[in-house]
Every structure is written in C-alpha cells, then in structure tokens.
Structure 1
Amino acid sequence: MLTWKDEVEEKSFIDGEMTEKVLEATKNPSRDEFDKVMAKAAEQKELSLEDVAILLNSEEQERVEEIFNLASSIKKRVYGNRVVLFAPLYLGNKCTNSCTYCGFKVDNQIGRKTLNMEELSCEVEALVDEGHKRLIMVYGTHPDYTPEYIRDTVKKAYSIKKGNGEIRRVNINASPLAEEEYRIVKEAEIGTYQIFQETYHEETYKRVHPRGEKSNFKWRLFGLTRAMRAGLDDVGIGALFGLYKWKFEVMGLMQHVKHLETEFGVGPHTISFPRLNEATGAVRDPEYLVGDMELKRIIAILRLAVPYTGLILTARENPELRRECMELGVSQIDAGTQIELQAYSKKAKEEKQELEKEQFKIGDSRSLDEVMRELMANGFTPSFCTACYRLGRTGEHFMEFSKPGFIHHYCTPNAVLTLAEYLEDYASEETKEVGYGLILREVESSDLTENVKSTLREKLDKIRSGGRDLYY
C-alpha cells in the first residue's frame, strides 16, 4: 500500500512558474479585457486561469464593486437565500507534524488527548441539544486517527438520537489516506472528505511544514484524487491564506478544481478560504497576511469562477466581517463553534477562549441560535438539509441537478423544512418569531411553483404536529 513516505510519481498539476507568469502578464487589465471576463462569468461559463487572473488583478474600486455585485447575483441565482449551517467537532489534538502556523504542532507542550466513544457521545449529545444536524469531524495526523477510528467514530455520531435530534450529515477533515484506507472510511457513509493544501506554493509549503507526514507536498496534493478514485463522491479543498501571496493561492485552488474536473468530470463540492490566525507558537509573515477587503475579493472571485461549488466561511472571522461577506457568495458557515476538546459538553459559552488549548483563535463564538436569528433578520434562510446525500444527489449527480437550476425545487423547500424543525425543537422565542416570519415569506415566494407551495404547507403542518425528517 502506498504511504506518505513513498514517492508520488504523478506530475504535480500545480505549475508555479506558469502561475506567476500569468499573474504578471495580466497586470493592469484593460476595461475591454475585464468586461469580456465579466460577461462570461455572468453567463456562468467556465473561466480560464487567465480570466481568473484578470479578475484578481482588477484593483480599481469600481471594478471590485462590479465583481461583488455579480457574485451576489450568481449566489442568489444558484443557491437562493439559503445558508447551510454546521459545527466543527475535534476528535483529538495529537499530532506528529511541525506546521509553523498551528497550535497543535508536535513541538508545542500542550495537553494531548483523543476522544473515546463515551466522550464522543457526550459531545454529540451536546451538539444535538443545540439543534445541530450537520458536523465536520476533525482529526489530526497521528497513529490514533486510523481509518478504522474515523469510520467507527462517524458511525457512533450517526447512532446518537436524543429527543427529536440527531446528526444527519458528517463531513471529515483529516489527513490524506491511501486508496484502500479511504474505502474503510467510506463504510461509515461520510459526506464530504476535506483536505486543505494550506499553500499551493511548493517552496513555501516545504518551509512551513518542516517535518512529519504533512511535509510531503505531493502526497497531500493528490490526497483527494485518491479519495475520488476510492469512490468518495464529494471532496472539499482549501488554502490557508496568509502563508504566501493570496493571488497565487486562488490560482492554485483553480488548478486543483480543473484537475479534479479533468480526472473525474466533477470538481470539489466545497472550497474553504480560512485566514492565518493567531495560535500558540505560531509564526506569521506580515508580508502575506490577508486583509478584510482582500478576503472579500477572494470570496467574490471564487463565486464567479466556480458558481456551483459551496464556499465555506468559518468562525475564524469576527461577526461583523462574516455579515459583510455573506452577500458575496458564501453558501456555508459554522455556528456555535467550539474548537477546544470536549468544549461542547463541558465549557460554558461565556468563558473566555483558552488559546493554548485550541488549534487557533476563533473570531465568532456566538451560539447557533444567535447566528441563525441574525441570518434570518438579514433575509437568509438557514438550512440543515441533508436530503441530497441520502438520496444519492452527490458528485456528478448533484451537478446534473444544480447546473440547470432544478436544485431550487429541492433546496429551498428542504431548507424551510429543516428550519421549521429547529424552530419547533430548539429555538428561543425571539428566534422562533423571526423564523416563522421568514418561512411565511419563503412559502409565498414567486420562485416556488404552486404545487411545491401546496406540498410544502402540508409538510410544515406535519412538522408542527410532531413529524420530523421530511424532505423532497
């Protein structure tokens, strides 16, 4: 079995020299060049790397605002007002890597732990009590986190029922595996398998990952290629912005997208764009830190370049910035986030974050209820929907539904139904009032057919009468 210590013979699909040349050649694009790319994006046509570079190099405020406006329009066209919500759950903080930016690196003298099944059950129950239906379970690089451990802990999370609550979708953030190992994890019926390359600039990658499994650039780069070869339909990519030049990283993400599309006919299900945050023992290079406006541009340009791909904005960012970014193309966020081990079951929400116990500093520690209430007050529909995954609308099948826009017949009604479940079972009275006002507006929306409106009202009545897990 191929392991991380073996040489990955496949040629890297990241061409760093070409990337730098394209970014240099497209500096100061003309108005005509910019308009042509924007016209392609408006029609949701595939953008070339040169097209993306032109957007990245369009620095004038007027053009940036045009990009923002088009990104918002495309987001609404493809996703409507929906925003998918999830929570991260750390299974352990043991690690054999020395990533210079991470609070869990092996060099740090911190308390190390891996959750056992009983401890995991307590965390999942606490999350269910808050109203969560979707998790991303996070595993480090360590012998504790075998494919069998990942499989068994996911199955355990799915098995826990409490009142009307349960976890219906578990995504994974874990180290790259061999094909045979992915097949073991697949037995647990996971959702998306997520691996962040961190940086697509190979020299920088080697510098910030000096030792451990993560030091192997190509083993990580082809990690999701092996996952898809093993039969996993949905994968998620990401870059940690702040390690190298942000424009280069966006171009790296796009090369990764195109590689997966070429190899498998479908790109990543999600793209994440976390920024380098403060962490215990972390080293940060001021030259590459990404500002708020640059983050907004990253989000908007990605939405133009990959209109059908989920874009995830995490609680690394503060509430105010998250509000500002929501209109630009974000389709998924975490809420009620705790990243200290066993924090959901043991840590009071009002306690101050203890950075030495966590991987990095988070910026938004508001409760799920608070985040949902604000989203709805701003016109967004929070969604816990998992119907597509349980009905096989994943991978290529998902794109078949989403690209023509048929997904609106499923996603908006399903979002409303999962929201109604939350309002009935977990919401504060204030949130419930705001939520049912939003549901009324969605049900009467002209975007829904009369048949969908009729069946949706019937299903909502069933939920109010105690029915659960209803979907299209």
Structure 2
Amino acid sequence: MSNSIAAPLNFIGQSTAVQGQFSDVVSSLNWQTTAASIDSQTAEDVRRVLVKKNLQIDDFITLVSPAAQAFLPEMVAKSQQLTRQRFGFGMSLFAPLYLSNTCANECSYCGFSMSNPIKRLTLNESDVENEVRALKTKGFDHILLVTGETSKVSLSYFKKMLPIITPSFNYLSMEIQPLEVDEYSALRGLGLNAVLVYQETYNKTTYAKHHIKGKKSDFNYRLDAPDRIGQAQVHKIGLGVLLGLDDWRTDSVFLAHHLRHLQKQYWRSRFSISFPRIRPCEGGIEVGSEITDKQLVQLVCAWRLFDADVELSLSTRESAHFRDHVLPIGFTSMSAESKTQPGGYAEDAQSALKQFEISDERQVSDIAKLIQSHGLEVIWKDWDKAYNS
C-alpha cells in the first residue's frame, strides 16, 4: 500500500437479498466441541498447516491452539511476509471521535453502562465542529465515530452531524448501535464508509451474563448486524470479540466462521478484524479469561495466515511497549492519540466520561515516528470520498 488512492469498488453483483443470517449458521456450531477440537491439535498438525497456502477453518483452529505456541517465531515471520506482500509497507492511522457516552444498555465491562454514575454528554453541532478542527490539526483523514447505544443518538442525530463531519475527512467509520438495513443505507448516502460491530462473545450464555439490560441483550439481533451492513452495501465491515469475556481461542474460531459467512454473501465488501482486550473502566469487571501478550501475538498471526486480505487493526488499548514491538507483524491500521470520551480532543474532558482507559497515550506525531522507525510508511489517506457511491 502507498499514498496512492485505492481503486473504487463496484457493488454490482453483491448480495442484497437475505440468504441466511449468521444466526442460522451459528446454531449449527457447538462451543464445547469447538473447544475440544482446539485442545486436540498437535505439533504435527501445526507443521502441516504452516506449509499450506489456502487455509480453512480447521487450519485456523490449529493456529490458535496451545500446540501452535511453540511455533510462534515461524508464525510471526510468515505473518509479516504475507502482510508486506498484500499491503506493502504502509500503516494507516485513524482516530476515534466519541459523539456521546449516553447509553441505554447495562454491560458489565463498559464505562458507559446506564447505571454507572458518570456525567453524560452528547455533542451538539458546535461541539462536533470543535472536535473536527482538533482532529484535522493532528493530520487525521480517517475517523471512527463512536457512541453509546441509545435512541438519543439514532439516525436523526447522525443526519445532523455527518454533514458537519464528512467534508473534512475522506474515510468515515462508525461504531454505533446496530441498525436496520435502510438506516445503514441512509448513512452510506451521507458518506459512511465502514461499520464496526463487535459481537463481544459468541458464547450465548456468557453473552447473557454480561449484557444485563437494554437492546444489546438481544444476542441474535447483534449477531446479524453485519449481515444487515452487507445488505446495505457498506464498503467495509469490521468484526471482533472482546478478548477476556470468554475463552479467546473458541471465540476467535466462531469469529472466523462469521467472517467466512460474510465474505461469501457480501464479497465486494472489505473486512477488518480488531483485537480489543478488556481495559479498566468505571464500574468495570475483572477479566474472566485472560489472553497474554504472547497469545495475542499468536492470534494476530493466526488471522494473517488464515486470511491474507483481511485488515487487522491495532488499538491504543494496548501498551506503548506492546505496540512498539508488534505493529509490523500483521497489522494494517492503528489508532493514535485516542480520546474515549465526548469532547476529548478540543478540551480536557473529565476522566469519568471515558468508555475505558487508554494504555498508549502518546501523541500522533510520536506514533508516526514509531511507524517510520520500523521501515513503514504512514498512510493518512487511502481513500477519496469521490469513490463513495
């Protein structure tokens, strides 16, 4: 990848009719059987997979298994090679822009949960203008809009705010409450390029335990949100699980099934995977199933070996030390100088407004220098709004 603009995509031929949601697929998968399959993998299985070119779900199971840990140096080397072959020497930078921390959900791991006694804030037009100016000053051309999940920040709110935001940025992603197909289509018409929606965990029992109240407690409605995004012909669909809620290996295998389902049906969309680990937050929980730094590296490499085309994102949830060392191994984009509270860029907002604590708090200029120190090129722009259909 270089600073040249990516080629436009033609969505003619992409499925717009429902051909079966992922909730239909996941009903045929078994959590315990998948976990047992992961644990049964051997060193010989790993060696066999490492020499293959086209990997299937069974191969991904092998790469995330405990048996693959001994092969981490080989996985890192192959992951880095595949990343350079497919994406070149570029690393895209983006920043989240939090529009609201108001939320009608009760989630055990999130600082925005409705019962947490924090100050609530939803940005108005003037606030958004100030945030946009602050982010443009830092050089960003790709931003991720984030909100809590509530009717206060529904389609009508975005119809007011996106015309303020989109003139200043060429690529706009959103991480918001799941919507209907026609609502995603309306946002696409306003300049939306990508939607990120994380299932958090694919274990329905664990999901119910951590999503106590609100619309997010509807497991299947959230599970099928990426299908609705694809049906709306959104350019990119972002997936992920919250690492720490349940067994990261089993959750990741279910996520691989989800990706393959979406790729078959919405094959003209791009796809990305994020790796959020539970971070401290107001009223937050203890980690239920820890994933170590070494295991996270294994997971990132497993994804790159499994799918050379999928985009992988590195979050400021991770420590500066960790990000310094892992950014070349398979990632294609990373956030920088993130603020996880509304109004965080234009002024010093209160810590209590944050969704979670950031670990890497360095300025974007420092992150740019870090990328260059690895022999990579900082990509500020890899899309032009003229390509938006």
Q: Same fold (TM over 0.5)?
A: yes
SS at match of 2:30: helix
Q: Which residue of 2 aligns with 1:20?
A: 32
* 1:432-471 alignment, distance < 5 Å: none
Q: Is structure 2 residue 286 aligned with structure 1 residue 274?
A: no
Instruction: Report how far residue 217 of structure 1 moved.
Output: 0.5
* 1:239-388 alignment, distance < 5 Å: 239-266=241-268, 268-285=270-287, 287-347=288-348, 355-387=351-383
Q: Which residue of 1 aligns with 2:75?
A: 67
Whether the 8 Å contact between 1:148 and 1:185 is mirrored in structure 2 is no
Out of 174, 192, 195, which is 2:194 matched to? 192
| 1:384-403 per-position Cα deviation (integer Å, ceiling 9, x unaligned) | 123366436x9xxxxxxxxx
Whether the 8 Å contact between 2:243 and 2:290 is mirrored in structure 1 is yes
Question: Residues 200, 389 of structure 1: CA spacing in aligned structure 2 closer, same or farther, 3 A cutoff?
Answer: farther
SS at match of 1:12: helix
Instruction: Report how far residue 292 of structure 1 moved.
Output: 0.9
Whether the 8 Å contact between 1:123 and 1:345 is mirrored in structure 2 is yes
Whether the 8 Å contact between 2:91 and 2:332 is mirrored in structure 1 is yes
- Identity percentage of aligned residues: 24
* 1:95-114 alignment, distance < 5 Å: 95-114=103-122
Q: Is structure 2 residue 41 aligned with structure 1 residue 29?
A: yes
Out of 86, 89, 108, which is 2:94 matched to? 86
Letter in 2 for 1:82: G
SS at match of 1:288: coil
Whether the 8 Å contact between 1:90 and 1:139 is mirrored in structure 2 is yes
Q: Is structure 2 residue 143 aligned with structure 1 residue 135?
A: yes
Instruction: Report how far residue 354 of structure 1 moved.
Output: 5.2
For 2:69 and 2:205, the matched residues in 1 are separated by: 33
For 1:66 and 1:135, the matched residues in 2 are separated by: 34
Q: Which residue of 2 aligns with 1:454?
A: none
Whether the 8 Å contact between 2:120 and 2:353 is mirrored in structure 1 is no
Whether the 8 Å contact between 1:243 and 1:288 is mirrored in structure 2 is yes
SS at match of 1:373: helix
* 1:229-240 alignment, distance < 5 Å: 229-240=231-242
For 2:315 and 2:182, the matched residues in 1 are separated by: 31
Instruction: Report how far residue 235 of structure 1 moved.
Output: 1.1
Out of 154, 157, 160, which is 2:162 matched to? 154
Instruction: Report how far residue 185 of structure 1 moved.
Output: 1.1
Whether the 8 Å contact between 2:243 and 2:275 is mirrored in structure 1 is yes
Question: Residues 256, 10 of structure 1: CA spacing in aligned structure 2 closer, same or farther, 3 A cutoff?
Answer: closer
For 2:74 and 2:370, the matched residues in 1 are separated by: 26
Whether the 8 Å contact between 2:244 and 2:278 is mirrored in structure 1 is yes
More helix by proportion, 1 or 2? 1
Letter in 2 for 1:263: Q
Letter in 2 for 1:253: L
Whether the 8 Å contact between 1:71 and 1:329 is mirrored in structure 2 is yes
SS at match of 2:323: helix
For 2:241 and 2:221, the matched residues in 1 are separated by: 16
For 1:305 and 1:216, the matched residues in 2 are separated by: 30
Instruction: Report how far residue 253 of structure 1 moved.
Output: 1.2
SS at match of 2:362: coil
Comparing 258-267 and 183-192, the one that deviates more? 258-267
Whether the 8 Å contact between 1:154 and 1:170 is mirrored in structure 2 is no
| 1:361-416 per-position Cα deviation (integer Å, ceiling 9, x unaligned) | 11011111111012112211110123366436x9xxxxxxxxxxxxxxxxxxxxxx
Whether the 8 Å contact between 2:34 and 2:250 is mirrored in structure 1 is no
Letter in 2 for 1:77: Q
Whether the 8 Å contact between 2:173 and 2:196 is mirrored in structure 1 is yes
**Gaps in structure 1 of 5+ consecutive residues:** 1-7, 160-165, 348-352, 395-472
Instruction: Report how far residue 37 of structure 1 moved.
Output: 1.4
Instruction: Report how far residue 340 of structure 1 moved.
Output: 2.1
Question: Normalization by structure 2: what TM-score?
Answer: 0.90
Instruction: Report how far residue 215 of structure 1 moved.
Output: 0.1
Greater Rg over alpha carbons, structure: 1
| 1:57-77 per-position Cα deviation (integer Å, ceiling 9, x unaligned) | 153554121111111111111
Whether the 8 Å contact between 1:92 and 1:115 is mirrored in structure 2 is yes
For 2:177 and 2:64, the matched residues in 1 are separated by: 30
Whether the 8 Å contact between 1:280 and 1:355 is mirrored in structure 2 is no
For 1:297 and 1:363, the matched residues in 2 are separated by: 21
For 2:38 and 2:249, the matched residues in 1 are separated by: 12
Q: Which residue of 2 aligns with 1:445?
A: none
Q: Which residue of 1 aligns with 2:60?
A: 52
For 1:118 and 1:354, the matched residues in 2 are separated by: 19
Instruction: Report how far residue 257 of structure 1 moved.
Output: 0.4
| 1:340-369 per-position Cα deviation (integer Å, ceiling 9, x unaligned) | 22111112xxxxx95422001110111111
Whether the 8 Å contact between 1:26 and 1:50 is mirrored in structure 2 is no
For 2:138 and 2:230, the matched residues in 1 are separated by: 33
Comparing 88-97 and 132-141, the one that deviates more? 132-141
For 1:10 and 1:68, the matched residues in 2 are separated by: 31
RMSD: 2.1
Letter in 2 for 1:358: K
Question: Residues 389, 12 of structure 1: CA spacing in aligned structure 2 closer, same or farther, 3 A cutoff?
Answer: farther
For 1:389 and 1:19, the matched residues in 2 are separated by: 42
Question: Residues 100, 128 of structure 1: CA spacing in aligned structure 2 closer, same or farther, 3 A cutoff?
Answer: same
